[in-house]
Structure 1
Amino acid sequence: MKQNRNVEFEPAGRKSNVESESTEVSFLYLSEDDMVDAGVQNAARCVDVMEEMIGLLEDGDFLMGGPYNDAHGLMLYFPKKSPIKNFPINNSRDRRFIAMPAYLGGRFHVAGEKWYGSNGNNRELGLPRSILMMMLNDVETGKPLAYMSGNLLSSMRTGAMPGMAAKHLAVNDAKVLSLLGCGVVNKACLMSIMTVRPDIEIIKLKGSSRTSKTALRMKEYIEDHYPGVKQVILCTTMEEAVRDADIVSEAISCMYGQWPEVKKEWMKPGLLYISSSTFNMEYSSIVDLKKVIDNYGMYENYAEEDELGYDENGIRKHSGCMGEDFVYMIEDGLIERDSLIRLGEIIRGKKPGRESDEEIILVSLEGMPIEDVAWAYECYSYALIHDIGTRLKVWDKPRAF
């Protein structure tokens, strides 16, 4: 079922719960199939919703976790060893749980939380590395509104952010898109970017090799779904993938500290380089480039948690996160804080976006729980209107203890 990109929804959470005098509490359960029917993979609409969300972030009409209300989430890591018998051990490269709560205002006026467990060993079981669920709650009463499958939701909102960046910051005649990483996230990025830049003619793919299964699957997907793309090129090196690109979407999965390096001399004038995952570029090469971020406070939190210092040669270590590296550059006096532009400032017209066809723009997009809340609410609203999902009861009346 396709969702109309321009459909407007009433604030279902506020209307259905606050005005009701009933003590009955129930919520809508949406399976992964239900989420597909509710339009969770509607890339064009998701780009629009993310733009709306970023505007509310700029307005301050939101809350996230942490002491400054701007944290990515609360992470529960397992140790690599423990003296306690049968204690969970991190014997994979990514075993953790994360709670990502947020409130988003505007027409959404809803609270929610994405909760997920991650384990790199899942792939041996035929499962995705991370299994995610999403909860929405009425802000006024705390009533649960919906509980839904979150994997497709999370991927789509992640991909829609680069789509929004490409809409506002790419050169008008962008023809070459490069995808660094060919996994699920960059597939969602591809879907979103193509909705706002349908004139792309060449797509370059950088997987682990020319014959990597993910790269070949991505090539096949592009050829099947985007007939206007004239050429799909499988690249063996980062340099080959970055050179001549108008837009780069980076979503590389790699071991911590093994981030592939990108060099300024590979970047053509006018390049828009979007990082959603890992980033490694010499600090001195970044200084004169335009730098755009989604949420500076989140990167300050990252830097405070990581406390990365300097190597044996006195050179600042890289974090693998573009926005966090920007924080270190400010700490080291390489750039000024006001040299960073918030994406919300561009959306709200406070600062210009692209100012010439020659400037190279770096964009850091790391993911925030308000993105999940926004897209979850949109899918939930669509599901309500179209009678999708299963209504589950909590109680008719709360029992006295």
Structure 2
Amino acid sequence: MDDKKRCETDILYLDEDQMIEAGVLDAGRCVDVMEETMGLLSDGDCLMGGPNHDAHGLMLFFPKESPIPGFPLNDSADRRFIAMPAYLGGRFHKAGVKWYGSNGRNRSCGLPRSILMFMLNDVETGMPLAYMSANLLSAMRTGAMPGLAVRHLARPDSKVLTILGPGVIGKANFLAVMSQMKNIDTVLIKGSTPASKSAKSFVDFVKAHAPQVKDVRVCATMEEAIRPADIVVEAISCKEGEWPEYKAEWFKPGVTFICTNAFNMDYRSIVDMRKVVDNLGMFVNYADEDDEGYDENGDREHTGCMGEDFVYMSRDGLLDLDTVDQIGDIVRGKKPGRKSDDEKILVSIEGIPIEDVAWGTECYENALKKGIGTKLKLWDQPKAL
């Protein structure tokens, strides 16, 4: 980088409409970028927070009660703040942080539950390069990971796709999977109820974005939605401890089951399923921090996070943690993709901040090429005290 470019101090601000113009909704391209990102994770060419440099982020939890008048309380669903910092190497060579606040009461005043922003920084000088609206950025990079999983793990002849949780992330999951799987002709949907608004709107979403799909159905039960599926993608929003329960016998041979949120399955019933995660170290960290115990029957308490449960299964002697593959190692050819047509594959994806750096960098560079965004001045000359 030349000295003039290095010393620039303008920050590019991108609002949501400008992010769309910069390509944030391009699901197929986002899958490509996530493939690069997971490869760099496998190479070790990245840094995240935490002592092992692989943490999901740092979260502010609010107490349920406080003696301090006016202190913010955890008195609504999902009230929290999270900072997710990371550096990503390769062609990206950028640092960044996603920062978001969340409150379940937001919906009552027309706001999304979570409101996200992303800051991208020059890794050499530390200068901020861009500040951007990140709700769509985060949703699309989250959805792209199931798209990447099916690219490498799903049967190419897959025809039936099931979406569990027809919300925003469910839509992003759908777009990404459909960008990779051209033979899908049936989409099954399971929402909170068959008559839920989100399920009905998802039917319209499928028809608008995938006219090749001939059969779109809202299912009454989880079992009805799962049994016929070649690919199942889960993104159900639920309260802590109220996770849905799935049965291993519902999943047919050859299925690719991708989870991005919380659910439970009996540990012993999934021992023989192949297990793949995005970032195994992160799940080990979760298990060390949570240290879940056992119930009155001597069974391990579930966490709702399947990747974390894999770690507990290994500690209970049900599996060898070395048999849990990482998507990045599959991308790099260190581990195989699908091994057989009948193999049942369970993929646990939690989301990691290098994904935000990657897709944020892509959108930022597209915006520069297209002349999109608003320049904000940091200073003319930094003032010294």
Q: What letter is aligned with 1:252?
A: I
**Over aligned residue pairs, what C-alpha RMSD do you find?**
1.0
Q: Structure 1 residue aligned with 2:140, among 144, 156, 159?
A: 156
Encode CA deviations 1:66-109: one digit per residue, 9 max, x unaligned: 01000000000111110001111111021110000000000000
Are 1:99 and 1:116, in contact at CA under 8 Å, matched by a contact in 2?
yes
2:104 to 116, 120, 134: 120
What are the superposed Cα offsets for residues 218-243 of structure 1, whole Å, 9 maximum, x if unpaired?
A: 00111122111010111111101110
Q: State the match for 1:370 in structure 2.
A: 354
1:338 CA drift (Å): 1.1
TM-score of the superposed pair, with normalisation by structure 2:
0.99
Cα distance per residue 1:215-267 (max 9 Å; x no partner): 00000111122111010111111101110100000000011111111111111
Give 2:236's aligned residue: 252
Does the 8 A contact of 1:208 with 1:236 survive in 2?
A: no
Query: Residue 308 of structure 1 aligns to which amino acid in structure 2?
Result: E
1:21, distance to aligned residue in structure 2 (A): 6.6
**What is the CA-CA distance between 1:20 and the residue it aligns to?**
2.1
Trace 1:2-401 onto structure 2 (pairs within 5 A): 15=1, 19-20=3-4, 23-401=7-385
The answer to whether the 8 A contact 2:87-2:96 is kept is yes
Q: Is the 2:58–2:84 Cα contact (8 Å) retained in structure 1?
A: yes
Give the count of matched residue pairs: 385
**Contact kept in structure 2, 1:28 and 1:145, CA below 8 Å:** yes
Measured against aligned partners, the alpha-carbon deviations of 1:156-212 in whole angstroms (never above 9, x if no partner) come to 000000001011110110000000100000100000000000210000000011110
| Matched residue SS, 1:177 | strand
| Amino acid in the other structure paired with 1:398 | P
Letter of the 2:188 partner, please give it. Answer: K
Is the 2:159–2:230 contact (alpha carbons within 8 Å) kept by the matching residues of 1? yes
Aligned residue type for 1:141: T
User: In the TM superposition, what is the alpha-carbon distance from 1:279 to its structure 2 partner?
Assistant: 2.4
Amino acid at match of 2:74: N
Cα distance, 1:305 vs structure 2:
2.1
Over 3 Å off, 4+ runs: 21-24
- Give the unaligned 5+ runs of structure 1: 1-14
Residue type of the alignment partner of 1:260 = P
| Secondary structure of the structure 1 residue equivalent to 2:204 | helix
Under a length normalisation based on structure 1, what TM-score does the superposition of the two structures give?
A: 0.95
> Structure 1, residues 366-388: CA drift from partner, whole Å, max 9, x if none?
00000000000000000001000
C-alpha displacement at 1:19, in angstroms? 3.4
Q: Distance in 2 between matches of 1:91 and 1:286?
A: 36
Find the aligned partners of 1:400 and 1:345 in 2 and give their Cα distance.
48
Which shows bigger deviation, 266-275 or 22-31? 22-31
Aligned partner of residue 211 in structure 2, secondary structure: coil
CA distance in 2, matches of 1:19, 1:58: 33
- The change in CA–CA distance for 1:22 and 1:252 in structure 2 (over 3 A counts) is closer
**5+ long unaligned stretches in structure 2:** none
2: CA distance, partners of 1:121 / 1:226: 33
Distance (whole Å) between structure 1 residues aligned to residue 7 and residue 34 of structure 2: 34
Task: Give, in whole Å, the separation in 2 of the partners of 1:24 and 1:389.
Answer: 16
Contact 1:23 1:397 in 2 (8 A): no
Contact 1:24 1:396 (8 Å CA) reproduced: no
Instruction: Quote the offset at 1:284 in angstroms.
Output: 0.4
Q: What amino acid sits opposite 1:313 in the alignment?
A: N
The residue type equivalent to 1:48 in the other structure is: D
Which letter does structure 2 place at the counterpart of 1:378?
E
Matched AA of 1:349 = G
